[in-house]
Amino acid sequence: MARAFLELIGRHATPILAGGVLLGLAWPALAELARPMLVPGLVIPLAIALLRLDWGALGAYGRRIGLIGLLVGWILLASPVLMAAFTLPLGLPEPLRAGLVLMAASAPIVSAAALSLILGLDAALCVVVIVATTALVPFTLPPVALLLLGLEIAIGPLELMGRLMLLVGISFLAAGIGRKLIRREWIAARARMFDGISVSILLMFALAIMAGKTEVLLERPAFFFLVVASSFVANLALQALAAFIFIRAGRRRGLSVGLMSGNRNMGLVLVALAGQAHFDVEVFFALAQIPMYVLPAVLLPLYRRVMRGEDQAT
């Protein structure tokens, strides 16, 4: 019974998570109640995702070190520098600009690998890049965001690096232990169940991240909708720019890089900051979850049309 319920949740992940964000805004008391799930809601799904990733796909790109290095450099280094340059003359509130740059400096969400399968993209490439960037982001984000770009955040780069290393390290360690103790076939046979577990915990995270954000909507609606609009524009802009740059490697690869570029693991950065960032930065990280839940479903027909065109050409 429980397994069937979890599988049902796993099949409807996107609307459930989007509903969690909206429910957290509409029911502030519930969001406050879920606040303790902020850290577990990040670490546990990340560990489950790493446990389930097809690590054999790493070998498929084992001889493409140059390509992988280029993609990692684009996601972790070039993206935040470009975001900082483009947002500087816009006159945005500094916390909003800081949130946008930190978003661009984050690793892709781990679920981008699963999304790439749904959208018909290069899942193997996504696995390799996600694993590499998630492992490296503790070392790249602090110096890029805090030293090179001069963002004002009340936490030192070394402290932020240590917190990111701890969060990422726990997830990788848990996944590594799980892969030693649990047979791969057993995990694969219960894919939907694991989807349901991850979605259930992410739902708690979606609720928790909205704690205190309803007041922003009620007291500063103009800023609230500016943040939502900015998060949609940033997500789409990063996707479009990355796809345009890397489309020469093939449509499927170009769109795969675009998907990863627009959908970043801001929850990891938020938890690592641990309340040391400006509250409006936290507001951005919370509301920027909305386009990550909404856009894949909206863009699905476009992805399929582009992929169908490439398949026909092939």
**What is the signed CA dihedral for 160, 162, 165, 171, rounded to 10 degrees?**
-90
- pLDDT per residue of the chain (314 residues) written in tens, 0 to 9: 677 777 777 677 667 777 777 888 888 999 999 989 888 888 888 888 888 776 666 666 666 788 899 999 999 999 999 999 999 999 999 999 999 999 999 999 887 877 777 677 887 888 889 889 998 999 999 888 877 677 666 667 778 888 889 988 998 899 899 989 998 889 888 888 888 888 888 888 888 888 889 999 999 999 999 999 999 999 999 999 999 999 988 888 999 999 999 999 998 888 888 777 888 998 999 899 889 878 877 887 887 787 765 555 55
Q: Distance of alpha carbon 47 from its chain centroid, rounded? A: 14
Q: For residues 38 and 30, what is the distance between their CA atoms, to the nearest angstrom?
A: 13
Cβ density class 56-81: b for 16+ within 10 Å, e for less: ebeeebeeeeebbebbbebbbbbbbe
Q: What is the pTM of this model?
A: 0.86
Long-range contacts from 7-15, C-beta under 8 angstroms, 24+ separation:
7/192, 7/193, 7/195, 7/196, 8/196, 9/195, 9/196, 9/199, 9/200, 10/191, 10/192, 10/193, 10/194, 10/195, 10/196, 10/198, 10/199, 11/192, 11/195, 13/195, 13/199, 14/293, 14/296, 14/297
Q: Which domains does the chain have, with CATH numbers?
A: 16-309 (1.20.1530.20)
